[in-house]
Amino acid sequence: MRKGLALSFLAALTACSAGEETPKGRGIDCALGGSDKFLPECFVKDSRVGERRFLTVRNKTGAFRRLEMVDDGRGVIAADGADEAVAKWSAEGVLEVAVGGDRYRFPARMKSDAPQP
Protein backbone atom coordinates (compact mmCIF):
# COMPACT_ATOMS: atom_id res chain seq x y z
CA MET A 1 0.00 0.00 0.00
CA ARG A 2 2.80 2.43 0.91
CA LYS A 3 4.53 1.81 -2.40
CA GLY A 4 1.33 2.61 -4.33
CA LEU A 5 0.83 5.84 -2.37
CA ALA A 6 4.44 6.90 -2.92
CA LEU A 7 4.19 6.28 -6.67
CA SER A 8 0.88 8.19 -6.86
CA PHE A 9 2.41 11.11 -4.96
CA LEU A 10 5.48 11.17 -7.23
CA ALA A 11 3.29 11.04 -10.35
CA ALA A 12 1.21 13.96 -9.05
CA LEU A 13 4.33 15.97 -8.23
CA THR A 14 5.79 15.33 -11.67
CA ALA A 15 2.56 16.35 -13.40
CA CYS A 16 2.35 19.60 -11.43
CA SER A 17 5.95 20.64 -11.95
CA ALA A 18 5.97 19.77 -15.67
CA GLY A 19 2.96 21.97 -16.40
CA GLU A 20 4.33 24.99 -14.53
CA GLU A 21 7.85 24.96 -15.93
CA THR A 22 8.54 27.27 -18.87
CA PRO A 23 10.51 25.57 -21.66
CA LYS A 24 14.12 26.70 -21.98
CA GLY A 25 15.83 27.90 -25.14
CA ARG A 26 15.60 30.71 -27.66
CA GLY A 27 12.12 32.05 -28.24
CA ILE A 28 10.60 31.72 -31.72
CA ASP A 29 7.21 32.46 -33.24
CA CYS A 30 4.84 29.57 -33.82
CA ALA A 31 1.27 28.91 -34.93
CA LEU A 32 0.04 25.73 -33.26
CA GLY A 33 -2.87 23.43 -33.96
CA GLY A 34 -3.72 24.91 -37.34
CA SER A 35 -3.82 28.51 -36.09
CA ASP A 36 -3.24 31.29 -38.62
CA LYS A 37 -1.71 33.58 -35.98
CA PHE A 38 2.00 33.34 -35.09
CA LEU A 39 2.81 34.04 -31.44
CA PRO A 40 6.16 34.07 -29.58
CA GLU A 41 5.22 30.95 -27.59
CA CYS A 42 7.79 28.35 -28.66
CA PHE A 43 11.36 27.73 -27.61
CA VAL A 44 14.17 26.04 -29.51
CA LYS A 45 17.37 24.35 -28.31
CA ASP A 46 20.24 23.14 -30.50
CA SER A 47 21.97 19.80 -29.97
CA ARG A 48 24.42 17.49 -31.75
CA VAL A 49 24.72 13.75 -32.03
CA GLY A 50 27.99 13.03 -33.77
CA GLU A 51 27.93 15.04 -37.00
CA ARG A 52 24.14 15.43 -36.99
CA ARG A 53 22.59 18.70 -35.78
CA PHE A 54 19.12 18.89 -34.23
CA LEU A 55 16.63 21.53 -33.13
CA THR A 56 14.15 20.63 -30.41
CA VAL A 57 11.16 22.97 -30.43
CA ARG A 58 8.91 23.04 -27.35
CA ASN A 59 5.75 24.93 -26.62
CA LYS A 60 4.34 26.01 -23.25
CA THR A 61 2.28 22.82 -22.87
CA GLY A 62 5.45 20.71 -22.97
CA ALA A 63 4.79 19.25 -26.42
CA PHE A 64 7.84 19.16 -28.66
CA ARG A 65 9.12 18.42 -32.15
CA ARG A 66 12.65 17.40 -33.13
CA LEU A 67 14.02 18.60 -36.43
CA GLU A 68 17.32 17.71 -38.05
CA MET A 69 19.28 20.51 -39.71
CA VAL A 70 20.39 19.66 -43.26
CA ASP A 71 22.74 21.47 -45.66
CA ASP A 72 20.91 20.73 -48.91
CA GLY A 73 18.84 23.92 -49.10
CA ARG A 74 15.77 22.59 -47.27
CA GLY A 75 16.96 23.83 -43.88
CA VAL A 76 15.45 21.08 -41.70
CA ILE A 77 13.69 17.74 -41.91
CA ALA A 78 11.61 15.88 -39.32
CA ALA A 79 13.85 13.84 -37.04
CA ASP A 80 11.07 11.94 -35.28
CA GLY A 81 7.43 11.04 -35.69
CA ALA A 82 5.18 10.25 -38.62
CA ASP A 83 4.61 13.84 -39.79
CA GLU A 84 6.88 15.22 -42.50
CA ALA A 85 8.44 18.66 -42.04
CA VAL A 86 7.86 21.03 -44.95
CA ALA A 87 10.17 24.04 -44.96
CA LYS A 88 10.02 27.18 -47.09
CA TRP A 89 12.20 30.27 -47.13
CA SER A 90 10.67 33.73 -46.99
CA ALA A 91 12.09 36.85 -48.61
CA GLU A 92 12.69 38.23 -45.09
CA GLY A 93 15.25 35.52 -44.33
CA VAL A 94 12.94 33.39 -42.21
CA LEU A 95 12.64 29.63 -42.50
CA GLU A 96 9.01 28.65 -41.95
CA VAL A 97 8.58 24.98 -41.08
CA ALA A 98 5.22 23.17 -41.03
CA VAL A 99 4.84 19.82 -39.25
CA GLY A 100 1.35 18.41 -38.92
CA GLY A 101 -0.90 21.31 -37.90
CA ASP A 102 1.96 23.33 -36.37
CA ARG A 103 4.15 25.98 -37.99
CA TYR A 104 7.39 27.49 -36.72
CA ARG A 105 9.44 30.50 -37.86
CA PHE A 106 13.21 30.28 -37.53
CA PRO A 107 15.41 33.30 -38.22
CA ALA A 108 18.00 31.83 -40.57
CA ARG A 109 20.34 32.48 -43.48
CA MET A 110 20.01 30.61 -46.70
CA LYS A 111 23.18 29.16 -48.19
CA SER A 112 24.23 31.07 -51.29
CA ASP A 113 24.29 27.88 -53.38
CA ALA A 114 20.86 26.66 -52.17
CA PRO A 115 17.80 26.80 -54.44
CA GLN A 116 16.02 30.15 -54.14
CA PRO A 117 12.36 30.34 -52.99
Task: Give strand pairing partners of 66.
Answer: 56
Residue 50, domain member (yes or no): yes
CA distance 4 to 28: 41
What predicted TM-score, i.e. pTM, was given to this entire model? 0.71
Residue 114, domain member (yes or no): no
pLDDT band for 21, please (50, 70, 90 cuts).
low
Residue 3, domain member (yes or no): no
Residues in CB range of 51: below 8 A, 6 or more apart: none
How many domains does the structure of the chain reveal?
A: 1
Domain holding 73, by residue range, is 23-107
Three-state secondary structure call for residue 4: helix
For residue range 42-56, what is the model confidence (pLDDT) as tens digits?
999 999 999 999 999
Residue 112, domain member (yes or no): no
